[in-house]
Amino acid sequence: MNNNMKEVKAEFGHIILKGSPYDSGWKLGELLKDNENFIKFLTSGKFDKNKSGFEDFDEILSMYNKYCPGINDEIQGFADKVDCSLESVVYYHYSMDFQSNCSHFVMLPSITEDNHLYVARSYEWNYNEEDRLLFTTKLDGKMAHIGFSMLLFGRYEGLNSHGLCITTSGGGAYTAPILNKRGISNTLAVRALLENCKNVKEALENLIKMPVIPTQNYLMCDKSGHIALVEGIDCKFDVKELTLESQEQYLCSTNHPTLPKMTQYYKYLHKWLKSNSPMRHKLITNTIQQNKPEITPANIKILLSTEIPNGLCAYYHSGSFGTVWSMVFDLTLDKVDICFGPPSHNEWHNFSVDKPDTGNRYPAIFVDKGIMDLS
């Protein structure tokens, strides 16, 4: 393991989208048009029948429209503004190949000091391979939500205007054989759920009908105290649900399967994840057990800010395991604290779906220890 630490400065943006989907896409193109390298990448897609599993590009558009109505209009607005074809927008071609190394957990009010419902997440990957854009999205006919983007149009997580919160982490079984090629990405599914569902019940009913291909773990919760862990791969799902009346009062997830229908895929984890992911899972569980029933936001942020193996903060961006952002959602107050970059080196900022933006641009310090030994 290379322990030569270096600090790098970068920047995040916060974009607020309002109006029709087409108008919001046009605004995106307007805001980003001068970022030539980013636009060049975003418009470098090409339909590949053999890779996608679809007969033609129109089938992809049809599936996107079915599960996330309005998304094609938004992408069309963007494409028109930056003068490219709809087919060349990269987001349509990243549906089947997605990985992430993240941790997230949800705690019901009975085990927190102030009786609030908290959700925490730490997103790990390589900061150079991310949009680094936080979106507050308020589109006509859709529920407003706030969350980080994947290739502009997908969402990794979010809190919507009805108090539904969804967070995700990679499921780890990246080498498992996939039988279904015709499907959508988890980031499209998350966005669709945030824009169209009021609570966990609706989100679960919709998600399990979606052909989501990537191996992915989801935590869902709403203000009523209904929480759920969903693990999925290859359009199959397993679900664990808890309420305020359940014996267990928290859920957590990292990057391996834990539910009965999904543990068969554990053998497809990279050997590094087989040790690293359960270690983080146990760390979260132990922290919650040691601090309940008086868990505080401070306890949560200490865990998120402490370097692995004693915490969840990671610096191995070259090995796709560096903390890019961290979040603590308070569903009781409808707000989220966000740290742009690893929280060991950066400040927390408070947001809500309705709160006006206070900065637009947020500088961040990233810490890189080089390439992590994944052997």
Packing angle of the helix pair 21-32, 71-82 (nearest 10 deg): 40
DSSP 23-62: HHHHHHHHHHTT-HHHHHHHT-----HHHH--SSHHHHHH
Positive or negative torsion for Cα 23, 27, 33, 35: negative
Cα–Cα distance, 214 to 184 (Å, whole number) = 8
Per-run averaged pLDDT (10 residues), the chain, 375 residues: 76 96 97 95 92 90 97 98 97 76 97 98 96 97 97 97 97 93 93 98 98 96 98 97 98 98 96 95 98 97 97 93 97 98 97 85 92 52
pTM of the model: 0.96
Cβ count near 299 (within 10 Å): 20
Cβ atoms of residues 76 and 24 within 8 Å: no
- Report how far Cα 93 is from the mean position of its chain's Cα atoms: 18
Residue 319: the pLDDT is 86
Quote the pLDDT of residue 140.
97
Q: What's the angle, vertex CA 59, arms to CA 47 and CA 236, rounded to 5?
A: 100
Q: Quickly count: other Cβ atoms within 10 Å of residue 211's Cβ.
A: 16
Q: Which of 102, 163, 162, 159 is nearest to 130 (CA)?
A: 102
Residue 86 three-state SS: helix
- What is the rounded CA–CA span in Å between residue 210 and residue 17? 26
Q: What is the DSSP letter of 121?
A: E
* SS3 of residue 146 by DSSP: strand
Query: Domain-by-domain residue ranges, the chain?
Result: 12-93, 103-368
Q: What's the alpha-carbon Rg for the chain, to the nearest Å?
A: 19
**Listed residue (262, 198, 195, 191) closest to 230, CA to CA:** 262
| Cis peptide leading into residue 177 (ω within 30°) | no
Residue owning tokens 């997908």: 154
Residue that the structure tokens 């998600």 belong to: 207
Q: How far apart are CA 279 and CA 262, in angstroms?
A: 19
User: Token pair of 361, please?
Assistant: 């641009």
Give the DSSP per-residue string, 263-289.
GGGGGGS-HHHHHHHHHHHHHHHHHHH
Q: What is the pLDDT of residue 2?
A: 47
**Any idea which residue has 């790990």 for tokens?**
124
- The residue behind tokens 């040691």 is 290
CATH of range 103-368; options 1.10.520.20, 2.60.120.10, 3.30.1360.180, 3.60.60.10: 3.60.60.10
- Residue 123 Rama label (left phi>0; alpha psi -120 to 50; beta): beta
**Residue whose pair of structure tokens reads 């979010």 in the numeric block:** 158
Cβ count within 10 A of residue 310: 10
Residue 362 near residue 14 (C-beta atoms within 8 A): yes
